[in-house]
Structure 1
Amino acid sequence: MFFTPSANLVMSTVRPQEQGIASGANNAIREVGGAIGVASLAAVFSAQGGYGSASLFVDGPVPALWVGAGAVALALLVPRQRTADGPAAGLAVGDAPAGVPVAT
């Protein structure tokens, strides 16, 4: 539910001759982000919980989920910069770049 719209957004914001580079960069960043995310949340889990008992195991995911939710919230707050020379430059409000479906 996240990766497909994200890839669509990346691919629709670059020129056709740059789509191979954008796709490769998107995939590399996704893989690195996934590895760092799993490692970070596993570190939080192991610092706060463990596998010794059922209650100890339940104590680990709660702070890990809060850290993950905080990271997502922080990512949503980071402002995105738009360049004037991108493929969507010069479009009127309501217009979409080529290849992007528009709801009517």
Structure 2
Amino acid sequence: MQALTGLVECGIVTRQDGENLRKAYFFIRMLIDGLRMVRGNAKDRVLPPPDSDAFIFLARRVGYTTDDWQAGARHLQTDIEQHMNATKKFFERTFGAL
């Protein structure tokens, strides 16, 4: 985070992009921690399919709790897609499409 803060302070990365990247980083760390709790190991970082019971359990584990567990899982999937898209757009804009 110090490097990202430095890039923002130097004007290399905009404040908005810096904030989006910071949020995405902490979001992915939350998912990794949730996967570790769900699976009991630190190596498996592959998300379960969004329509699976394992994904619903992950959503509950990381705080996407509602009376409708499937709605919580859909909300998590939406947040994953939003963070991925924002990060992808930043990298494409900054470094070009891969």
What range is the shorter-chain TM-score in?
0.3 to 0.5
If asked which structure has higher relative contact order (CA below 8 Å, sep 6+), I would say 1
TM-score by length of 1: 0.34
Question: When you count helix as a share of all residues, which structure comes out higher?
Answer: 2
TM-score by length of 2: 0.35
